[in-house]
């Protein structure tokens, strides 16, 4: 595990990382292409990860979880799983992502009711529903103040009544619990944003057909979610006015930070494929890798991966030190989490493109898997505001902190 430098020191965390890498090498790498098409193959691979404790890794020991708190460890685990398949890694991440608001608000009603199922050995799924048919970036853009959210939540007696529609969320229809981004009144701006938990079997909740996508074809299920007078207890709102806005920003910041290792796992796998291929394929009397032109291309791929990894790990270490660096929802860390995602995704795109150039037609065919990593990683660049809003958050939204 040398590639994670000194960012991870706990013996237990290192042991878990080693176990996961071995599992990915043995159980996922040989079936990574089948997993692209066959949900049963994906389910089996995910089931194995659950048995190794990955589903409960971030939850408190009080609920039977492993209580892993280190952000660098969580990010490294994400990279290791993504090296096999980033849809698999996404499935693992959306559970704590969906439950984070309740944990951040210390909402014991929601935590006590829904966290224990994730600490069992049955494979589960969570969902954080942000995006709507009219757009995703505008809801994720703090400059819009929550004004563009169209999914509404009205309090009637002791229940929230939710109406509206979401589009694209990961885990839609397969998740057991949905954390839904709503507004109690758009005019209230940030104070109106509400994060409300909805269990899958709630009357009035229904789903569209799974979307047919370029990558993460079956490993992530994306569909429309419809809310037709969906009623849940008032305690299912994560925090309350203003608190939910902060928790939502926290979700965005964590989501962007975790997207960096998720993308880089793809790049690392592609680099490994390229190293192998260019050492056996030859032209002009020596292997492709021995030619200085191609060697320089591969070196740039490795340098990009190493620097993007070192950067996301250093931001993750800042996430762990709230006293010094503040909250992930604040501008200082939001800017850095956004930079980590933007840079890692750009590096991954460059690595996949270069791999194809280095491998010629063999890079383009399914047999060598580079095209799968390119397809899977592209969406990581596009979600959570894409490279454009990510860049704006580095330079505009968070500008005063660049010189800190």
| Under rule CB under 6 A, residue 384 binds ligand FAD | yes
The verdict on 170 binding ligand FAD (CB under 6 A) reads yes
| Min dist. Cβ of residue 216 to ligand FAD (A) | 5
Q: Rounded to the nearest whole angstrom, what is the least distance from the CB of residue 385 to ligand FAD in the complex?
A: 6
Please state, in angstroms and rounded to a whole number, the distance separating the CA atoms of residues 132 and 201.
21
Contact of 175 with 166, CB cutoff 8 Å: no
Q: What separation in angstroms does the CA of 402 have from each of 208, 329, 394?
A: 42, 16, 8
> Does 138 participate in binding ligand FAD (rule CB under 6 A)?
yes
Total interface residues for ligand FAD by CB under 6 A? 25
The answer to the question of residue 392 lying near ligand FAD (CB under 6 A) is yes
Which of 279, 282, 321, 388 touches ligand FAD by CB under 6 A?
Answer: 388
Contact residue for ligand FAD among 123, 210, 233, 386 (CB under 6 A): 386
Cα dihedral 282, 286, 289, 290, rounded to 10, equals -170
Q: Which residue lies nearer to ligand FAD by CB, 28 or 380?
A: 380
When asked if residue 383 is in the footprint of ligand FAD (CB under 6 A), the reply is yes
Under the criterion CB under 6 A, does residue 129 sit at the interface with ligand FAD? yes
In angstroms, give the least distance from the CB of 145 to ligand FAD. 11
Identity of the residue, 66 or 196, whose beta carbon is nearer to ligand FAD in the bound complex = 196
Tell me the CA distances in angstroms from 231 to 70, 117, 133, 157, 374, one per residue in order.
36, 22, 22, 11, 41
Question: Rounded to the nearest whole angstrom, what is the least distance from the CB of residue 132 to ligand FAD in the complex?
Answer: 8
Stretches 49-57, 166-174, 274-282, 290-298: which one binds ligand FAD (CB under 6 A)? Answer: 166-174
Q: How far is the CB of 282 from ligand FAD (least distance, A)?
A: 39
Stretches 30-38, 212-220, 296-304, 345-353: which one binds ligand FAD (CB under 6 A)? 212-220
Backbone angles phi, psi at 386, to 5 degrees: 65, -175
Q: Which of 75, 130, 264, 344 binds ligand FAD (CB under 6 A)?
A: 130
Q: Closest separation between CB of residue 178 and ligand FAD, Å?
A: 10
In order of 202, 302, 339, the CA distances from 261 in angstroms are: 34, 15, 13
Asked if 128 interacts with ligand FAD (CB under 6 A), we say yes
Judged by CB under 6 A, the residue of 104, 126, 136, 261 near ligand FAD is: 136
Is 379 a binder of ligand FAD (CB under 6 A)?
Answer: yes
In angstroms, how far is the first alpha carbon of the chain from the final one? 32
Residue 247 in contact with ligand FAD, rule: CB under 6 A: no
Which is nearest to 186 in space by CA: 219, 144, 214, 227? 144
Proportion of the chain in helix, strand, coil states, percent, rounded to 5: 60, 15, 25
Alpha carbon 9 to chain centroid distance?
Answer: 24
Phi (first) and psi of residue 69, to 5 degrees: -110, -15
Among 82, 222, 250, 268, the residue binding ligand FAD under the rule CB under 6 A is: 222
Q: Is 135 one of the binding residues for ligand FAD (CB under 6 A)?
A: yes
Using CB under 6 A, pick the residue from 216, 315, 335, 359 that binds ligand FAD: 216
Residue 169 vs 328, nearer CB to ligand FAD = 169
The answer to whether 220 contacts ligand FAD (rule: CB under 6 A) is yes
Give the phi and the psi of residue 230 in degrees, each rounded to 5: -75, 125
b/e sequence 281-295, b meaning 16+ C-beta within 10 Å: eeeeeeebbeeeebe
Q: Which two tokens stand for residue 274?
A: 């390229």
Radius of gyration of the chain (CA): 21
Cβ nearer to ligand FAD, comparing 36 with 220: 220
User: Does residue 79 bind ligand FAD (CB under 6 A)?
Assistant: no
Residues in the chain: 404
Give the ranges where 38-70 is alpha helix by DSSP (H): 39-51
CB-closest chain residue to ligand FAD: 136
In the block, tokens 């074809």 appear at: 217
Using CB under 6 A as the binding rule, whether residue 137 contacts ligand FAD is answered as: yes
Residue carrying structure tokens 């499935």: 91
Residues found near ligand FAD in the complex (CB under 6 A): 128-131, 135-138, 141, 168-170, 213, 216, 220, 222, 379, 382-386, 388-389, 392
């Amino acid at each position: 595990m040398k590639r994670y430098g000194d960012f991870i020191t706990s013996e237990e965390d290192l042991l878990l990382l080693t176990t996961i890498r071995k599992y990915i090498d043995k159980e996922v790498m040989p079936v990574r292409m089948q997993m692209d098409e066959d949900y049963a193959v994906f389910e089996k691979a995910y089931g194995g990860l659950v048995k190794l404790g990955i589903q409960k890794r971030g939850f408190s020991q009080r609920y039977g979880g492993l209580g892993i708190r280190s952000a660098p460890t969580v990010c490294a685990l994400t990279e290791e799983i993504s090296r096999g398949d980033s849809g698999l890694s996404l499935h693992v991440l959306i559970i704590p992502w969906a439950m984070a608001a309740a944990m951040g608000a210390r909402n014991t009603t929601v935590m006590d009711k829904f966290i224990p199922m994730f600490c069992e050995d049955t494979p589960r799924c969570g969902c954080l529903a942000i995006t709507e048919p009219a757009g995703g970036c505008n809801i994720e853009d703090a400059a819009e103040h929550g004004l563009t959210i169209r999914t509404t939540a009205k309090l009637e007696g002791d229940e929230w009544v939710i109406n509206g529609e979401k589009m694209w969320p990961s885990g839609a229809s397969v998740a057991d619990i949905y954390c839904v981004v709503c507004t109690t009144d758009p005019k209230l701006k940030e104070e109106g944003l509400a994060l409300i938990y909805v269990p899958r079997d709630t009357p009035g909740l229904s789903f569209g057909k799974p979307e047919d996508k370029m990558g993460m074809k079956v490993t992530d299920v994306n569909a429309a979610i419809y809310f037709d007078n969906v009623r849940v207890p008032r305690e299912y709102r994560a925090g309350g006015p203003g608190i939910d806005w902060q928790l939502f920003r926290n979700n965005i910041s964590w989501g962007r930070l975790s997207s960096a290792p998720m993308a880089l796992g793809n790049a690392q796998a592609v680099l490994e494929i390229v190293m192998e291929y260019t050492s056996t394929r030859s032209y002009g009397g020596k292997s492709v890798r021995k030619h200085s032109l191609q060697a320089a291309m591969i070196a740039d791929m490795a340098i990009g991966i190493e620097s993007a990894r070192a950067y996301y790990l250093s931001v993750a270490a800042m996430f762990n030190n709230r006293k010094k660096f503040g909250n992930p929802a604040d501008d200082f860390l939001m800017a850095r989490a956004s930079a980590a995602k933007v840079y890692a995704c750009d590096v991954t795109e460059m690595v996949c493109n270069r791999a194809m150039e280095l491998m010629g037609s063999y890079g383009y065919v399914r047999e060598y898997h580079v095209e799968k990593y390119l397809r899977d990683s592209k969406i990581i660049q596009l979600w959570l505001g894409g490279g454009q809003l990510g860049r704006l958050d580095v330079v505009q939204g968070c500008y005063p902190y660049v010189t800190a």
